[in-house]
Amino acid sequence: MALKEVRIHGRGGQGAVTSSQILAITAFFDGKYCQAFPSFGVERRGAPVEAFTRISDKPIQVRQQVYEPDYVMVLDPTLMEVVDVAKGLKKDGILIINSDKKPEEFKLDTKAKVKTIDVTKVALEVIGKPFVNVAVLGAFAAITGEITLASINKAIDQEFAEKMKVGELNKKTAEKLFNMAKGA
Amino acid sequence: MAEMVVEASMALALGAKLCRPKVVSMYPITPQTHIVERLADFISNGELDAEMIHAESEHSAMAAMIGAAATGVRTYTATCSQGFALMFELLPIMAGNRLPGVMSVANRALSAPINIWNDHSDAVSARDQGWIQIYCESTQEAIDTTIQLYKVSEDHNVLLPAMVCIDGFTLSHVCERAIVPEQGEVDEFLPAFKPFVTLDPDKPVSIGPISFPNTYMEFKKQQHDAIMGALPIIQKVHDEYAKKFGRAYGNGLIEEYRMKDAERAIIGMGTLCGTGRIAVDELRAKGEKVGMIKLRSLRPFPVKELQKIAKNLKGLSVIDRHVSMGFEGPLCTDVRSALYGSGIEVNGFIAGLGGRDITVDRLQKALLSTKTHKQGEWLL
């Protein structure tokens, strides 16, 4: 597998940076090399933020920013109106939006595949709170095939070691989203 | 030894912890904060047996580090940017008193205008103050270099403080794979600190009293000889480390990439070298004979090693993440001086100030500039 680049759009406080990090840890458990970093902005709660993850079979040397991601994930559907989420996305790439709408409703200027999945709804059902940043990785795994569900679970076990209950609920949500995305 | 995905800041804290410093004096500043926060955690939860001095400023943090080092214990601190600038007054005092210790610098731009992002203007501005300065490209290199530099710094033929420089945000806030050595392995590699002289009420001495014009120059000559003499010691310690832990960074002072038949190359420090490898690979695939030189040790400067690596080059483009206002990039000045009379065309580029991205494209432009005898420029 060549180097794959992922950009995650979220709002400050929503956990996009954690999302990028857990994605990197998951890739590591899959035996891959990884790099996760925030957009280095001055973060404020509620403001649009970005985080990035690189995944590769080989050690990752490049340290420039991500300009042409292979995958983009949008954690908050309200960002669609304020951020050009498809910017630079490779034409054979995939855009995953947390939304209850259909992809064509967004009228995006991109040749990339667009997928929508209602992560918030599933998170509210399972966790009871709109925690989407970790669970979305279940959908990412099913849609892209870049990471495995087993490694997501391992990454959650490690990162939520002190919050096992939330960790377990995140695992359940991720699995549900994985199956939904696989079936879609 | 455990391999994990770890933020470079956390890795530096883990690296420092493995060296068992007895005093950690610090003042937090973005983007260094994560490093000292983690160390504060380690001290409060008992993982590290050290005294944490949360000073009221970086000036005091460095003063406390000097005082602690003078009592004969291993010391650590970290800073960057304006905090580094505030420490500046004390940097030559630590070096002039020949006190060992290690400081991590999460390199960040200097104000004004206020900018929290990466360049090398903080540490490079202090290159003349007698501290060893090593710049790291990756999380792994940052951990390994921290452990190596305690050994170099405390060597009785050196006895000088050392900085481990990592690019703020561009490395400090990156999570990636790294191997964290076991405590036992580090203990074998890095013996307990044996001070050369200590402040002890039972055996009173003065450290750093006045030196008149008839002695001051001799002190400075000894200090200069000591840091120049650190060149082979940095190399030796690096080689020992490589043998024990299986990881090497060139010869410890300088690293080369695809330089064997290279006609043109770039030279730089820190994370830009990772991106530089990609820039080189892409141009090589198009038939260009290009390479890269990564400078680890800015001070002491490895003149002979650079001459040896560069000797077959036609052109060398220097990437400075800092500008000496009123002249050029300081690394460019050093490289030109080291290669004086070699006939190699040396071209200086200013790049990456205040967090401006250093991209593959920008580095390729610099790499090829000597082919058409283009002037160096600011890579805006």
SS3 content of chain B, % helix, strand, coil (to 5): 40, 20, 40
pLDDT surpassing 80 at residue B271: yes
**CB contact (8 A) between residue A40 and residue B169:** yes
Six-digit token pair at B63?
């003063």
| Residue B58 distance to chain A (closest CA, Å) | 23
Q: What is the ipTM of this complex?
A: 0.96
Task: Give Cα B116 distance to the centre of its chain.
Answer: 19
Question: Quick one: average pLDDT of B131-148?
Answer: 98
d(CA B116, CA B119): 9
DSSP A153: H
Residue A33 contacts B where some CB pair is shorter than 8 Å: yes
In the three-class reduction of DSSP (H, G, I as helix; E, B as strand; rest coil), residue A94 is classed as strand
Contacts of B321 (CB under 8 A, 6+ apart): B107, B118, B119, B120, B121, B124, B167, B268, B269, B270, B272, B351, B352, B353, B358
Query: What residue spans of A47-147 are helical by DSSP H?
Result: 119-126, 136-144
Q: How many CB atoms lie within 10 A of CB B336?
A: 17
Shortest distance between the Cα of A47 and any Cα of chain B, in A, equals 19
Q: Can you tell me which residue has the tokens 């929290």?
A: B116
- Output the pLDDT for position B92: 98
Beta bridge partners of A115: A96
Residues in chain A closer than 8 A to B171 (CB atoms): 63
CA distance to partner chain B, nearest, from residue A146 (Å): 17
**Euclidean distance between CA atoms B162 and B153, whole angstroms:** 6
Q: Let me know: does B371 contact B315? Beta carbons within 8 Å.
A: yes
Structure tokens belonging to residue B319: 């990437």
Pairing of strands B345-350, B315-320: parallel
How close, in Å, is residue B330 to chain A by CA atoms? 23
Q: Which residues of A touch B357 (CB under 8 A)?
A: 64-65
* Mean pLDDT along residues B156-162: 98
Handedness of CA A132, A133, A134, A138 (dihedral sign): positive
Longest dimension (CA), chain B: 70
Q: Which helix (H) or strand (E) holds B145?
A: helix B139-154
Rounded to whole angstroms, what are the CA distances from A76 to A15, A80, A89, A140, B72? 11, 8, 18, 15, 55
pLDDT exceeds cutoff 80 at A40: no
**Residue contact B175–A60, C-beta within 8 A:** no
Instruction: Enumerate the residues of chain A whose CB falls inside 8 A of the CB of residue B6.
Output: none
Give me the half-sphere count of Cα atoms (radius 13 Å) on the Cβ side of residue B217. 2
| Residue positions counted in chain A | 184
* Inter-chain residue contact B170 with A63, CB threshold 8 Å: yes
A55 touches chain B (CB under 8 A): no
Cβ <8 Å between A61 and B117 = no
Which domains occur in chain A, in start order? 4-183 (3.40.920.10)
The distance between the two most distant Cα atoms of chain A, rounded to a whole number of Å, is: 43
> Is the CB of A34 less than 8 angstroms away from the CB of B274?
no
Average pLDDT of chain A to the nearest whole number: 96
What local confidence, expressed as pLDDT, does residue A183 receive?
A: 87
Nearest by CB to B5, from A28, A42, A67: name it. A28
Select the residue of B171, B277, B358 nearest A61 (Cβ to Cβ). B277
- State how far Cα B299 lies from the chain centre: 8
pLDDT of the residue at A28: 98
Of B153, B150, B139, B107, which is closest to residue B17 (Cα–Cα)?
B150
How close is the nearest chain A Cα to the Cα of B137, in Å?
Answer: 9
Which residue in chain B has the smallest CA separation from A63? B275
Cβ of A64 within 8 Å of Cβ of B277? The answer is: no
Instruction: Give percent of chain B above pLDDT 90.
Output: 98
Burial status of residue B100 (CB atoms within 10 A of its CB: 0-12, 13-18, 19 or more): buried
User: B213: pLDDT confidence band, cut at 50, 70 and 90?
Assistant: very high
* Pair B91, B97: CB distance under 8 Å: no
Q: Which of A24, A38, A63 sits opposite B272 (nearest CB)?
A: A63
Q: Do A35 and B271 touch (CB under 8 A)?
A: no
Sheet containing B75-79, strands listed edge to edge, beginning at the edge strand earlier in sequence:
B51-54, B23-26, B75-79, B102-107, B162-167, B132-135, B297-299
Burial A54-64 (b: 16+ CB within 10 A, else e): bbbeeebbbbb
Residue B5 with chain A: CB contacts under 8 Å: 21, 24-25, 28, 34, 36
Say whether pLDDT at B290 is over 70.
Answer: yes
Residue of A nearest to B278 (CA): A62
**Strand order across the B290-295 sheet:** B254-257, B290-295, B264-268, B315-320, B345-350
User: Percent helix, strand and coil across chain A, each rounded to 5?
Assistant: 40, 20, 40
Mean pLDDT of chain B: 97
Answer whether B176 sits within 8 Å of A34, measured CB to CB: yes
Q: Smallest CA–CA separation between B365 and chain A, in Å?
A: 15
Q: What is the pLDDT of residues B72-91, one digit of tens each?
A: 999 999 999 999 999 999 99
Q: What pLDDT was estimated at residue A45?
A: 86
pLDDT (tens digit per residue) in A138-159: 999 999 999 999 999 999 999 9
| Chain Cα centroid distance, residue B141 | 11
How close B221 comes to chain A (CA, Å)? 40
Chain A: residue nearest B170 by CA?
A63
Mean pLDDT of B300-321: 98
Q: Are A18 and A68 spatial neighbours (Cβ–Cβ below 8 Å)?
A: no
CB distance B209 to B215 below 8 Å: no
Residues contacting A167, CB < 8 A, separation 6+: A156, A157, A159, A160, A161
User: A121 pLDDT exceeds 80?
Assistant: yes
List residues in chain B touching A: CB distance below 8 A. Answer: 4-5, 7, 116-117, 169-171, 173-177, 271-272, 274-275, 277-278, 355, 357-360
Q: For A70-74, what is the mean pLDDT?
A: 98
Q: What is the pLDDT of residue A44?
A: 81
At residue B264, φ and ψ (nearest 5 deg) are -130, 150
d(CA B154, CA B198): 13
**Do the Cβ atoms of A25 and B5 come within 8 Å?**
yes
Put simply, the answer to whether A37 touches B174 (Cβ < 8 Å) is: yes
Angstrom distance (rounded) from CA A80 to CA A86? 10
Chain A residues with CB-CB distance to B275 below 8 A: 61-64
Tell me the percentage of chain B whose pLDDT exceeds 70. 100
Residues B125 and B163 sit within 8 Å (Cβ to Cβ): no
CB pairs under 8 A between A and B: 61
Determine whether A3 is exposed, middle or buried from the number of CB atoms within 10 Å of its CB (0-12, 13-18, 19+): middle
Mean pLDDT of all residues in B120-143: 98
Confidence class for position A1, pLDDT limits 50, 70, 90:
low
Domains and CATH numbers, chain B: 2-245 (3.40.50.970), 254-372 (3.40.50.920)
Q: Is the pLDDT of residue A184 over 90?
A: no
Measured CA distances, B37 to B81, B107, B177, B273, B281 (Å): 18, 17, 21, 28, 38
Query: Which of B171, B173, B274 is closest, CB to CB, to A38?
Result: B173
The average pLDDT across B227-255 equals 98
Contacts of B242 (CB under 8 A, 6+ apart): B248
A82 in B contact zone (CB under 8 Å): no
Closest to B24 in 3D by CA, of B32, B15, B36, B14: B36
CB-side exposure of A29: number of CA atoms within 13 Å?
Answer: 19
User: Is the predicted pLDDT of residue B347 greater than 70, yes or no?
Assistant: yes
